[in-house]
Amino acid sequence: MKKITGIFLAVLLVFSMTMSAAATEPTQPSGCSILADSVEGEPGETVTVPVKISQNPGFTNFAIVLDYDREHLTLKSIETKAEDRVYLCGDTVSVNTQWKKSEEEKGVYFVSAVSEPVKEDGILFIAVFEIAADFVGTASVTPIVQYIRSNETETSVFKQVEAASAGGTVTSVKKEDEGEGSEGGDVSGEITGDVNGDGIVEYDDVMLAYRAFLQEITLTPEQMEIVDTNKNSIIEESEFNAVYDIYFGG
């Protein structure tokens, strides 16, 4: 198994390297973009998801529909300021949490208007969600731009701003209670496969586990906590195979 898997991963590594830097850099829209952050919490916990603007050319008005996984997330509120600091949405906002264009198009409809053009990058507003008590996994949060406009003149003519959207995620992870696990046992908890801790199981996670198994690298304590399920401070073939199977759907 070790030899066959090693050959397969070596071929996969060569293939991935031909994809150049585009394969290693996070995929984000070019130009002005509206994106939801990816956050992590526990089942039943309340989490905050900032919705941000980057490469902002300047706006005075915007309308955004915030779509999300209603089966696993419950919207508690939309926050437009923190204490006395107003987010980039401005003072004049309207939020319709029951917005529905159709059964397929439902979400929170957020409209903002400011008196002076906003040209900063940063948080537009924050969505507060409660994770379902029985949910473990990843739920999506996606901002959908209806329009972004800029009016820097005294006339009523608005200039449309082109903007792309990037969705985020809420990952629900059930924490192990302290003291759980078996001394000297094979497994102290179910392996998640997310070795590098970026919220998804990907090719990099497989390679980290594989190289640690070959003793080519030393994982950080946080990475060892994820992969070394029997807590013997050694990455064994069965532990590497667990990450491998998660990524490849085995």
At 43-65, the pLDDT tens digits run 999 999 999 999 888 888 898 98
How many residues comprise the chain? 250
Is residue 123 helix, strand or coil? strand
Superfamily of domain 191-250: Dockerin domain (1.10.1330.10)
pLDDT bin (cut points 50, 70, 90) of residue 114 is confident
Residues 6 or more apart in contact with residue 18 via CB below 8 angstroms = none
For 6-62, give the DSSP string. HHHHHHHHHHHHTT-GGGTSPP--SSSEEEEPPEEE-TT-EEEEEEEEES---EEEE
33-172 matches 191-250 in fold: no
Domain residue limits, the chain: 33-172, 191-250
pTM of the entire predicted model: 0.57
Question: Which is higher by pLDDT, 216 or 20?
Answer: 216
Chain mean pLDDT for the chain: 79
What's the pLDDT score for residue 71? 92
Unique residue bearing structure tokens 């999506």: 140
Section 118-140 average pLDDT: 92
What's the pLDDT score for residue 108? 87
pLDDT bin (cut points 50, 70, 90) of residue 73 is very high
The CATH class, in words, for 33-172 is mainly beta
What's the pLDDT score for residue 247? 78
Q: 102-111, 117-126, 203-212: which range is least confident on average? A: 102-111
